[in-house]
Amino acid sequence: MTDVITKSQRLVHPSLHTLEAQDLLAVGAMAARCSRETIYHRFHGFIDLPTYLASLLTTDQTTIVAWSQGCCVGFASLAGGPQGHEVAVLVEDRWQRHGVGSALIEGVVEVARQRHLSLLHADVLHEDAFSLRILGRYGRLEVALDYGCYSVVVHLEENPAPTDHSDGRANGAINGRASGAMAELSSHVWSN
């Protein structure tokens, strides 16, 4: 018999925190559990992960870490880059397609709004075009396809208009799944 899993049953409710020094081991272990494909899609190549992870706390970027069941399941970063404030997300393979990536992007957008940023930039591989749909929930997109990679600018809406998503999501608004996590995140963000 086919195992029917509805969308809502599959969602997890990660808690989100800004990265702190004591998280680095868990984040590193999570990254080590990721497949080469996931690493490639996040970094568009292969990098020296330990060096990259060590740089997260020493450079001027904000990293939001997602946790579920006491385990690190992904992280997202908001970093200065040549094209503006860059957003990038990584979710561990076995936690993908359970809502963690959406919650992380929502977390990054919330940080950006608190900083009164109006633009975010993301580089998205052509095969990850579905990510444009997620980003498009937060404002108008400017998209250019260059050598198999979308260069995406998100014009963040200050007061996003609610849209009629069948799953109850509002365009750019914090949804039920992430609101608890975001309340927790806000206290970390404001204390930074």
Closest CA to 57 of 18, 112, 113, 91: 18
Give the chain's length: 192
Q: Is 125 helix (H, G, I), strand (E, B) or coil?
A: strand
Taking CB under 6 A as the criterion, the residue among 64, 111, 124, 185 binding ligand COA is 124
Asked if residue 175 binds ligand COA (CB under 6 A), the reply is no
Q: How far is the CB of 38 from ligand COA (least distance, A)?
A: 4
SS (H, E, C) 53-68: HHHHHHCCEEEEEEEE
Q: For 156-159, which contacts have Cβ atoms below 8 Å and span 24 or more sequence positions? A: 156/109, 156/112, 156/113, 156/117, 156/118, 156/119, 156/120, 158/113, 158/118
Binding mask 31-70 for ligand COA (x = CB under 6 A): -------x--xx----------------------------
**Given candidates 18, 68, 83, 96, which one binds ligand COA under the rule CB under 6 A?**
96
- For the CB of residue 55, give the shortest distance to ligand COA in the complex, in Å: 16
Q: Does 174 bind ligand COA (CB under 6 A)?
A: no
Among 109, 88, 106, residue whose Cα is nearest residue 158: 109
The site map against ligand COA for 141-170 (x = CB under 6 A) is ------------------------------
| Cβ–Cβ < 8 Å for 16, 185 | yes
Q: Is the Cβ of residue 49 or residue 134 nearer to ligand COA in the bound state?
A: 134
Instruction: Please identify which residue in 26, 71, 119, 134 interacts with ligand COA, judged by CB under 6 A.
Output: 134
- The alpha carbon torsion through 33, 188, 10, 34 (nearest 10 deg) reads -10
Among 23, 30, 62, 101, binds ligand COA (CB under 6 A): 101
83 binds ligand COA (CB under 6 A): no
Phi/psi-derived region of residue 35, left when phi > 0, alpha when psi is between -120 and 50, beta in every other case: beta
Q: Point out which residues bind ligand COA (CB under 6 A).
A: 38, 41-42, 88-91, 96-102, 124, 128, 130-131, 133-134
